[in-house]
Amino acid sequence: MDTYQVEIIDPGAKKLLEDLAKMKLITVQPMDPAKRFAKLVKKIRSAKGSAPSLEEISAEVESVRSERYSRK
């Protein structure tokens, strides 16, 4: 048995999935929002690379601010 995560974009697709479930071809199990969030956080935290330092963030913010205010 294979397991897939499906993101439904068109509401009609949900109806198709429900019909397949009624025919006992698939099972549909909604994912708990808290579990979805935890899974997303885990994925973000496991991303390769390093986070920018506070100095790098501050420099970027100041750069954007100076560019924005120089236009006015």
Question: What confidence tens digit (pLDDT) does each residue in 30-60 have?
Answer: 878 888 888 888 888 887 777 788 999 999 9
d(CA 12, CA 33) in angstroms, rounded, equals: 22
pTM for the model = 0.43
> 26: phi > 0 → left, psi -120 to 50 → alpha, else beta; which?
beta
